[in-house]
């Protein structure tokens, strides 16, 4: 028991010290962070409505090592007025991440900039930029350059290769729906740091202006961007016209999540921060954990500040041959999207369960006991070691511990219902007991957030709907990270021979692992010249690009 008390006192002391010196320590720690830079490997810089942009993101420090700092990166598509058409948040693991963007019919024909950056990079106005060309044949008439009408423009993109080829292909010409196998050179792979990415797609008959570089824009904003070192950083502010706004405890819960809520305390300006690992939901709920939460206003910071100063949006010219090819490709894309239900990517589930939920606890499945009409009766007759105690004019639910010292026995207990912290125990006492599925007890002392508790009561309702009629939580929309995926792999066998296959993107794998010796994929019913592009970084932090072509007849 003495040991438990010492641990708790040490945690309290550490927390108090950290609260008083957070700002000075934080500012000094920022000086040791190196600047970051980003490179994107993408499948194509020329896309049609209905097609998809695939990308792999590599984030390094200026010393050409994968960054150990930022855990979140952003990919954003801007038009020539610097208006953001979309913005995605990417989770970084060892400086690597990936995602994809579907080009819908709302995007007009034109030249766009794709930007990639971290919050830390924004402080110095550093971005990775790339020109992208989008054709919307559904909404815009495709203009033809009469001077170029007789001949198709040609592709003159530079190709790069390593001295030891990363992969080899046994032949250069294949038939429709034929399997292709790439043999990966294990000696060459040893030079790659981590995984690499591979794209196999039909080559464009366009000489598109090339721009694939780092861009520095003077940061005219006074806003300072805190690096996201542990996940998504949610920033907000608490205000009030009549109450103090410092040292106010807040709680954040994620909709549909099985993780426990997070807690934070406001600073002297009423600002607060939540660090969320694997934020895979766009809805969060915030609550003020005070006895009297009335009179406060909660706001979350806007995460969509406009990036200005992006210039150089070169246009492209199209001749009749290219326009005809675009029409055919657009038709193929529509057919592919019509069969999307049998060609869907697989979304990987991210483990988000809190470690506390795996702690030894006593679980009461209420359907295994006699059902009682009220919550209070349920605790009296079924749940041992917890009950309601009157405190002034209200009731509080407490976990009892006969081994606790006299001081600790007066600590409050933490009540969590459907994943959210509940301070109003009176309302819970009046809840319909037959809607509750389980009640679980953790009797140990817990230092959770910035407070100490005598045990935890975890309550789960059948429909997870305890808060539907509650006004104790405010709902906010946030930007989630892009889900991890296993991208669709088209195979051809007897069972699917009648399903159309007009893929121009034959293969995309953003994470080819070191233990892979072969990669296989199938050609489609589309004829033409296709390009295999592999990219990664070697041990010295330099970009490795390997390209080769083949023909489908």
Residue 125's region, left for phi above 0, alpha for psi from -120 to 50, else beta, is left
DSSP one-letter string for 60-80: EETTSSB-SS-SEEEEEEE-T
Q: Virtual CA dihedral for 10, 15, 21, 26, nearest 10 degrees?
A: 110
Name the helix (H) or strand (E) containing 8: helix 2-20
- Can you name the residues that pair with 397 across neighbouring β-strands? 388
Give the burial class of 260: count Cβ atoms within 10 A of its Cβ; 0-12 exposed, 13-18 middle, 19 or more buried. buried
- Cβ–Cβ under 8 Å, residues 532 and 170: no
Identify the CA nearest to 41 among candidates 550, 544, 514. Answer: 544
Residues 242 and 370: their CA atoms lie apart, in Å, by 49
**Which tokens sit at 17?**
């010290």
For domain 355-466, the CATH architecture is: Beta Complex (2.170)
Phi, psi torsion values for 416, nearest 5 degrees = -125, 120
Q: What is the pLDDT of residue 494?
A: 80
Residues 73 and 58: their CA atoms lie apart, in Å, by 10
Residues 407 and 409: their CA atoms lie apart, in Å, by 6
Same fold, 36-219+306-350+484-552 and 355-466: no
Q: What is the pLDDT of residue 27?
A: 52
**Which tokens sit at 497?**
């021979």
Residues 220 and 272: their CA atoms lie apart, in Å, by 24
Residues 324 and 330: their CA atoms lie apart, in Å, by 10
Q: What is the pLDDT of residue 509?
A: 96
Q: What is the pLDDT of residue 335?
A: 95
Q: For residue 508, give the 3-state DSSP assignment.
A: strand
Domain ranges for the chain: 1-32, 36-219+306-350+484-552, 355-466
Residues 112 and 79: their CA atoms lie apart, in Å, by 5
- Can you name the residues that pair with 505 across neighbouring β-strands? 201
Identify the CA nearest to 197 among candidates 548, 534, 545, 459. Answer: 534
- Cβ–Cβ under 8 Å, residues 419 and 258: yes
For the chain, 553 residues long, give each residue's pLDDT as a single digit of tens.
Answer: 333 433 333 333 333 333 333 444 445 556 677 899 999 999 999 999 999 999 999 999 999 999 999 999 999 999 999 999 999 999 999 999 999 999 999 999 999 999 999 999 998 889 999 999 999 988 767 767 654 444 433 333 433 444 457 888 889 999 999 999 999 988 888 888 888 999 999 997 666 655 556 777 765 556 788 899 999 999 999 999 999 999 999 999 887 677 788 899 999 999 999 999 999 989 999 999 888 888 999 999 876 677 888 888 888 778 888 888 899 999 999 999 999 988 999 998 776 656 556 667 899 999 999 999 999 999 999 999 999 998 888 899 999 876 655 445 578 899 999 888 888 899 999 999 999 999 999 888 887 766 788 889 999 999 988 887 667 789 899 999 999 999 999 999 888 888 999 999 999 999 998 788 899 999 999 999 999 999 999 999 999 999 999 999 9
DSSP one-letter string for 332-358: HHHHHHHTGGGSPPEEPPPP---GGGG
Report H helices in 339-443.
375-381, 425-429
Secondary structure, 3-state, 162-231: CCCCCEEECCCEECCCCEEEEEECHHHHCCECCCEEEEEEECCCCCCCCCEEEEECCCCCCCCCCCCCCC
Residues 182 and 359: their CA atoms lie apart, in Å, by 47
Residues 178 and 524: their CA atoms lie apart, in Å, by 8
- Cβ–Cβ under 8 Å, residues 73 and 38: yes
Cβ neighbours of residue 445 closer than 8 Å, sequence gap 6 or more: 4, 8, 404, 408, 411, 452, 453, 454, 455
Q: What is the pLDDT of residue 208?
A: 62
Q: What is the pLDDT of residue 64?
A: 93
Phi, psi torsion values for 5, nearest 5 degrees = -65, -40
pTM of the predicted model, to two decimals? 0.85
- CA distance to 283, 288, 292, 433, per residue, from 272 (Å): 18, 12, 19, 35
> Per CATH, which fold does 36-219+306-350+484-552 belong to?
Immunoglobulin-like (2.60.40)
Buried b (16+ CB within 10 A) or exposed e, 434-459: eebeebbbbbebbbbbbbbbbbbbbb
Distance of CA 151 to the CA centre of its chain: 44
- Can you name the residues that pair with 50 across neighbouring β-strands? none
Residues 374 and 171: their CA atoms lie apart, in Å, by 75
Q: What is the pLDDT of residue 239?
A: 95
Residues 261 and 61: their CA atoms lie apart, in Å, by 33
Residues 212 and 131: their CA atoms lie apart, in Å, by 7
Residues 371 and 436: their CA atoms lie apart, in Å, by 10
DSSP one-letter string for 291-320: S--TT-EEEE--S-PPP------------H
Q: How far apart are the first and last CA of the chain?
A: 78
Identify the CA nearest to 69 among candidates 129, 146, 4, 121. Answer: 121
- Cβ–Cβ under 8 Å, residues 414 and 421: yes
Name the helix (H) or strand (E) containing 55: strand 52-61
Name the helix (H) or strand (E) containing 22: helix 22-30
């Amino acid at each position: 028991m003495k040991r438990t008390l010492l641990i708790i006192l040490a945690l309290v002391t550490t927390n108090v010290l950290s609260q008083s010196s957070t700002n000075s320590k934080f500012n000094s720690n920022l000086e040791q962070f190196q600047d970051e830079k980003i490179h994107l490997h993408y499948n194509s810089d020329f896309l049609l409505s209905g097609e998809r942009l695939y990308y792999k993101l590599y984030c390094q420090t200026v010393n050409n090592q994968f960054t150990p700092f930022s855990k979140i990166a952003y990919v954003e598509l801007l038009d020539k007025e610097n208006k953001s058409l979309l913005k995605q948040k990417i989770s970084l693991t060892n400086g690597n991440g990936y995602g994809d963007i579907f080009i819908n019919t709302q995007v007009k024909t034109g030249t766009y900039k794709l930007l990639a950056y971290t919050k830390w990079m924004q402080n110095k106005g550093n971005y990775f930029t790339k020109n992208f060309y989008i054709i919307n044949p559904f909404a815009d008439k495709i203009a033809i350059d009469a001077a170029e009408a007789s001949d198709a423009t040609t592709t003159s993109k530079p190709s790069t290769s390593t001295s030891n080829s990363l992969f080899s292909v046994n032949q250069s010409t294949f038939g429709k729906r034929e399997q292709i196998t790439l043999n990966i050179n294990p000696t060459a792979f040893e030079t790659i740091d981590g995984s690499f990415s591979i794209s196999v797609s039909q080559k464009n008959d366009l000489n598109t202006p090339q721009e694939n570089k780092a861009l520095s824009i003077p940061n005219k904003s006074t806003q300072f961007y805190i690096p996201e070192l542990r996940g998504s950083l949610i920033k907000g502010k608490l205000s009030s016209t009549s109450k103090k706004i410092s040292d106010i405890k807040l709680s954040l819960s994620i909709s549909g999540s099985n993780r426990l809520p997070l807690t934070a305390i406001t600073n002297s300006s009423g600002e607060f921060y939540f660090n969320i690992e694997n934020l895979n939901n766009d809805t969060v709920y915030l609550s003020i954990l005070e006895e009297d939460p009335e009179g406060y206003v909660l706001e979350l910071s806007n995460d969509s500040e406009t990036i200005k100063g992006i210039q150089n949006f070169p246009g492209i010219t199209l001749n009749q041959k290219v326009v005809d090819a675009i029409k055919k490709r657009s038709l193929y894309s529509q057919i592919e999207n019509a069969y999307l239900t049998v060609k869907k990517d697989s979304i990987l589930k991210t483990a988000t369960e809190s470690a506390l939920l795996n702690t030894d606890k006593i679980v009461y499945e209420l359907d295994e006991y006699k059902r009682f009409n009220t919550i209070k009766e349920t605790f009296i007759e079924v749940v041992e070691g917890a009950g309601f105690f009157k405190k002034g004019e209200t009731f509080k639910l407490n976990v009892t511990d006969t081994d606790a010292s006299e001081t600790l026995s007066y600590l409050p207990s933490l009540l969590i219902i459907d994943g959210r912290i509940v301070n109003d125990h009176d309302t819970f006492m009046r809840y319909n007991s037959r809607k509750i599925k389980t009640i679980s007890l953790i009797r140990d002392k817990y230092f959770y957030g910035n407070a100490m508790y005598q045990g935890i009561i975890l309550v789960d309702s059948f429909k997870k709907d305890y808060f539907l009629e509650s006004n104790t939580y405010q709902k906010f929309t946030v930007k989630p990270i892009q889900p991890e995926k296993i991208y669709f792999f088209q195979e051809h066998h007897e069972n699917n021979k009648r399903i159309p296959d007009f893929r121009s993107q034959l293969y995309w794998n953003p994470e080819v692992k070191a233990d892979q010796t072969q990669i296989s994929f199938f050609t489609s019913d589309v004829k033409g010249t296709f390009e295999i592009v592999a990219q990664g970084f070697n041990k010295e932090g330099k970009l490795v690009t390997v390209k080769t072509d083949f023909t489908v007849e």
